[in-house]
Amino acid sequence: MSKHLADDIPPISRPFGSSETGLVQRARAFIADRFEASQPRLLVGYSGGGDSLALLLVLRELARVDACSVAAVHVDHRLRDEAEQDAHRVGSICRSLGVDVMVRRSSHHPARLFPGVGIEEAARRVRFEAFRDVAADVGADAVLLGHHARDQAETVLLHALRGSGLHGLSGMAVDTVLDVPWWSGDDHSLLRVLRPFLAEKPDEVRRVAEQSGLPIIDDPSNDDSSFRRNRVRHELLLLMEDVAPGATGRLVSLAAIVREDEAALDDVANRLLERAVSDGALDWETFWGAPFGLQRRVVRNWVFLLRGSGDLSLDRVDAVIALAERGQGGKRVEIGGGWSVEYRKRSLRLVAPGGPQR
């Protein structure tokens, strides 16, 4: 954790001085481009770390000139003994900024709530459930997260390592709508998520937080090498920068290029998907003759359509196609998170965890 972690923090008036920084100006344009309303209601996912603090400071500055209204949400995942103390400090920081903050504490350890998916994914589910609930409570138009360019580069590499194809190489979306919970058959709610810093350099984002003089609550788990993302950040990305300086920026550019290509290919796949889907089932004969790459995309988009998440590894998508090619009725393949796909009557059907076909 950083220095200056006083419980009572005096009110902060103008952390940016009398003029807007480039980061604030770009954030102002980002918001204006995405909302017709003159003052959208924005909710910041605030962990207490430097990146989310910088985002909170930037949006608080925009709120000061009526470009938006801003509130914060902090999630205690029950992962660390210090989490409750961190939540108290987050409250003090937000009070010093004059920003309302809602603190949500997980009912249990994430691994108990979502067994079998890994601690990072389990914590992510807890977090997004809290974001969804608080956004609904305060009437927020969107939740904003502080991911920056290095986070995007890490995400691209992680997806590449797990073999998720072009979809994974497109990285995180700067503006997306999530169907929460995407992992179950429970009632879903749409949550708009924005990442205004996704093209920003991490040093510039961190500088905003540090120059404010406010406490930065660094999570020690970010240095834990048992987490794959941390090894990518602290080892793989550094090695890539040593071998090819500027690699991080090029990975971010790659994600943007792939995302544009993805949109074009998805348009083609979705037109085929519309013809192939009937009552939730995917008619194999409608698209069996399509190019293999297009078959993959149809299957992935079909899962997204029904489940609210298409984040399948490439080997699971291929397993679904192989299931259909074998043509054995009643057979299933697992696709992760307890979900499976069954082949029956020349169609593919999605089966929820412990539940009926969809």
The contacts found for 286-290 with CB under 8 angstroms, 24 or more apart, are 288/324, 288/325
What is the percent of the chain where pLDDT is above 70?
Answer: 92
Q: Could you please report the per-residue DSSP string of 38-66?
A: SS-EEEEE--SSHHHHHHHHHHHHHHHTT
Tens-place pLDDT, residues 84-102: 999 999 999 999 999 999 9
Read off the pLDDT of each residue in 289-306 and give the average, rounded to a whole number: 91
> What is the predicted pLDDT for the residue at 305?
83
CA distance 216 to 5: 8
Tens-place pLDDT, residues 41-99: 999 999 999 999 999 999 999 999 999 999 999 999 999 889 999 999 999 999 999 99
- Of 4-8, 23-27, 138-142, the one with minimum mean pLDDT is 4-8
**Phi, psi of 343, rounded to the nearest 5 degrees:** -100, 125
Query: Mean pLDDT across the chain, nearest whole number?
Result: 90
Torsion sign across C-alpha atoms 217, 221, 225, 228: negative
- Of 142-146, 160-164, 285-289, 326-330, the one with minimum mean pLDDT is 160-164
Read off the pLDDT of each residue in 305-317 and give the average, rounded to a whole number: 76
Q: Which domains does the chain have, with CATH numbers?
A: 22-147+195-239 (3.40.50.620), 275-351 (3.30.465.60)
Cβ-based neighbour number of residue 23 at 10 Å: 22
2 confidence band (pLDDT: 50, 70, 90): very low
The answer to whether 353 and 337 are in contact (CB under 8 A) is yes
Q: At what angle do helices 50-64 and 202-211 cross, to 10 degrees?
A: 70
What is the percent of the chain where pLDDT is above 90?
Answer: 73
What does the CA dihedral 325, 265, 169, 113 come to, rounded to 10 degrees? -60
CA distance 305 to 175: 18
- The identity of residue 190, as a single letter, is L
- Cα dist from 107 to 77, 209, 258, 292, whole Å: 9, 31, 39, 44
The structure's pTM equals: 0.83
> What is the predicted pLDDT for the residue at 215?
94
Tens-place pLDDT, residues 236-263: 999 999 999 999 999 999 999 999 999 9
> What is the predicted pLDDT for the residue at 337?
74
- Of 50-54, 185-189, 217-221, 259-263, the one with minimum mean pLDDT is 185-189
> What is the predicted pLDDT for the residue at 298?
95
Most trustworthy range by pLDDT among 245-259, 297-311, 333-347: 245-259
Cβ-based neighbour number of residue 220 at 10 Å: 9
- Cα dist from 266 to 175, 177, 272, 274, 303, whole Å: 17, 16, 10, 12, 13
The answer to whether 351 and 340 are in contact (CB under 8 A) is yes
Read off the pLDDT of each residue in 271-291 and give the average, rounded to a whole number: 94
